[in-house]
Amino acid sequence: MTNFIHYLFCEAAMTTLSNPSPILLPPPLGGTLVNRVRRPGPDFDPAELAGLPRLELSDRSYADLEMLATGAYSPLTGFLGEADYLSVIEHLRLADGTPWSIPITLPVSREEAAQSTGRVVLTHGGEPVGWIEVQERYEGRKGFEAREVYRTEDAAHPGVAALYAGGEVYLAGPVTLFEVPRGAFPRHHRTPAEVREVIEARGWRTTVAFQTRNPIHRAHEYLHKVTLELVDGLLLHPLVGQTKGDDVPAGTRVRAYEVLLERYYPQARTLLSVYPAAMRYAGPREAILHALSRRNYGVTHFIVGRDHAGVGSYYGTYDAQEIFSAYTPEELGIRILKFEHTFYCKTCGQLVSPRTCPHGSEHHLVLSGTRVREKLRAGESLPAEFTRPEVAEVLRGAYTAQG
């Protein structure tokens, strides 16, 4: 079965490559790639903002500001107004019918809301990073939002906890960002427009994106390489925004990708670029957001595996795949590649899935994230069938340094 799948993918790839056509990247959602980055220069002096009200952004809101201003969240030009907010929660669409799954909002306290009128300077770490033209102020329906978006009101859910911790009032309006913050990963930090430029320069007519907040392991590598038999290029797009405290730090995950790409991936067909969004752990709803935003990066295919963007036991194993039936393929504008859980089978002697392996679970090597962290903290080695030795060394070194 595995060889047959490989044959089909090779056939598809050969057909694509043997029929060259002009490179035509998928249009951004809404038709135009939003760009609301305005760098200080001759036509703009930040001193002009002196005397305007200021608002300090959380790490999550700062990440949202970047995603909005660079077009990753096209067609949004700013934080959602009330009509769009309610429509997204109830219908998984903006008020005009455009597919959208998670409200991108700016929560503030009542005191901050009272002071936020007109143009408000946005700061992060006390430094001005942009502004918002406040057009609306409205009450967040947090219980409703939690039930519909996260499918739970349980404050133990990290996304729900962040929702509850935010202010009661939401500000809405178009935003402006002064500079794209590339500090942590300057080599790999690209805007949607810059990723599109790379894809076009490399001549990729089809590109698949892979998103993860976890360290890369052999099952991930299996998905990448099976898909590379079908498409021209692979965008490895690890999320590096805010995550929950026990997730592996972004720097460690990116370094693991770097060492893997050096030895095991075709350089000309692979691009490592970071995805600066904050993690919401909204499972199915977040899978849609991840796919739509990758369309804005110029990607034609997106991998959705088991429990995409999930946490705990709040979502079914394949809920994040099934939710895409809410839209037509034309609306999505990006092809969703759905994979089952993959693992190493000791009897098959290779990476497999339930579709290709006839053996029971006692034959399978499966390590949970918790078990992986326990082994790393104990200084133990990870099985080569689970992860490449070079990746294991990066992870072990990071955990050893933490003490």
Annotated active-site positions, please? 213-214
Most distant CA atoms of the chain, gap in Å = 70
Element (H, E) at 222: helix 218-228
- Give yes or no for a contact between 320 and 308, defined as CB atoms under 8 angstroms apart: yes
Q: What is the 3-state secondary structure (H, E, C) of 85-103?
A: HHHHHHHCECCCCCECCCC
DSSP string, 152-179: ---TTSHHHHHHHHS-SEEEEEEEEESS
Q: Which residues contact 106 (CB under 8 A, 6 or more apart)?
A: 61, 64, 79, 132, 170, 171, 172
Neighbours of 392 (CB within 10 A): 22
Element (H, E) at 264: helix 250-264
Burial of 247 from C-beta contacts in 10 A (0-12 / 13-18 / 19+): buried
CA distance 181 to 124: 11
130 touches 180 (CB < 8 A): no
Q: 196 CB contacts (<8 Å, ≥6 apart)?
A: 25, 33, 297, 298
**Phi/psi zone of residue 333: left (φ > 0), alpha (ψ -120 to 50 degrees), beta?**
left
130 sits in the region (left: phi over 0; alpha: psi -120 to 50; else beta) called left
What number of other Cβ atoms are within 10 A of residue 322's Cβ? 13
Give, for 84, the enclosing helix (H) or strand (E).
Answer: helix 82-91
Q: Which amino acid is at 306?
A: R
Q: Which of 102, 106, 162 is nearest to 138 (CA)?
A: 106
Q: What backbone torsions phi and psi does residue 302 show, to the nearest 5 degrees?
A: -140, 130
Q: Distance (Å, rounded) from C-alpha 106 to C-alpha 104?
A: 7
